[in-house]
Amino acid sequence: MADVTEKFQQAGPKVQPGAKEEMVYTWPYLVSIEAIMAVTMILALTIMSTFVNAPLLDLANADITPNPAKAPWYFLGLQELLLHMHPALAGVIVPTAALVLLGMIPYIDRDRRGTGIWFSTKKGVPIAVFAAIYTAVIEITLVVVDEFLIIPGIHPDGSKGIGPLLKFGLAKAFGIKEVWTAWIGEILIPIIFMIAIPWILASWVKRRYKANTREVMISLYTFYLTSFVVLSLIGTAFRGESMHLMWPWQVKPPH
């Protein structure tokens, strides 16, 4: 019975109708695993806590701003977004939307087939890999472009990136006030990007893999997962003084 999962993973979720699960007693089969895991984890934490000290810097001082000032690591993805768009978008709307969308997943993908099998179908893994590469490539490209893009004549004041390009470029070309064009670069374009990137991914996966709802959902969750990892990594290891992009070894730890 032990190889059943593999078999169905290979063949797609095709379990014989009425196939009965093999049952085991919780004691000892589960309880022993729980005990081993708990002891191992406690040991690992004990060793780590013996040798690695939690940081404690100087007393808080509102007059001395560290450079850079960073949020805890799990918010560094959002802090990274902050560099590319309006703060209300990065700090409030995106995280709220992310949580609401996560909560909606089971109400959109309601087909029970594929439950209980890693990646559900044989297309699941290739779709996840595709979505991860797609997301990583696009996001890294956007971050780098937004950091270094500079067009002489349009980026006059030493500013760089897509936002200022639109702000000054459009203002110049169409004679619109800069307050309006700034809004385009800070709010409109980021929203379009954040909707278009997963949207194109979903349609692409649907076409290329003839994906069903679950498989499209796998591509979208992978988009979320990869965004979180990529943006947090950039925010943690590649952002140094004044939040400029740099190599990890150039980033000084907080002091």
Partner 1 sequence: MGLWAKFKNTTLYKSIYRNDYPDTPRNQVLVILNSVVLHLHPVKLPRRAVRVSYTWGLGGLSLLMFLILTLTGVWLMFYYVPAVPHGYQSMKFLDTNVIFGPFARNMHRWAAHGMVIAVWLHMTRVFYTGSYKPPREFNWVIGVVLFLVTVLLSFTGYLLPWDQLAYWAIMVGSNMAKVSPVVGTYVQQALLGGFDIGPATLIRWYTLHVILLPLACIALMAMHFWRIRKDGGISTPIPYDEDGETDQLNDNNEGKS
Which residue from 120, 219, 226, 227 is in contact with partner 1, where contact means CB under 8 A?
A: 120
Tokens coding 73: 């690591």
Residue 70 within binding range of partner 1, rule CB under 8 A: yes
> Please, which of residues 82-101 interact with partner 1 by CB under 8 A?
82, 86-88, 90-93, 99
Identity of the residue numbered 64: I
Asked if 121 contacts 214 with a C-beta cutoff of 8 angstroms, the reply is yes
Count Cα atoms within 13 angstroms, Cβ side, for 44: 6
Residue 2 within binding range of partner 1, rule CB under 8 A: yes
Residue 10 within binding range of partner 1, rule CB under 8 A: no
Size of the site for partner 1 (CB under 8 A): 93
Closest CB to partner 1 among residues 62, 247: 62
Residue 24 within binding range of partner 1, rule CB under 8 A: yes
CB of 43 to partner 1, least distance (A): 12
> Please, which of residues 29-58 interact with partner 1 by CB under 8 A?
29-31, 33-34, 37-38, 41-42, 45-46, 48-50, 52-58
Q: Cβ atoms within 10 A of the Cβ of 232, count?
A: 18
Identity of the residue numbered 114: G
Closest CB to partner 1 among residues 107, 174: 107
Residue 179 within binding range of partner 1, rule CB under 8 A: no
CB of 152 to partner 1, least distance (A): 32
135 CB burial (10 A radius; 0-12, 13-18, 19+): buried
Q: How far apart are the first and last CA of the chain?
A: 56
Identity of the residue numbered 10: Q
Closest CB to partner 1 among residues 46, 203: 46
Q: Cβ atoms within 10 A of the Cβ of 109, count?
A: 19
Which residue from 84, 123, 214, 239 is in contact with partner 1, where contact means CB under 8 A?
A: 214
Tokens coding 100: 């609401």
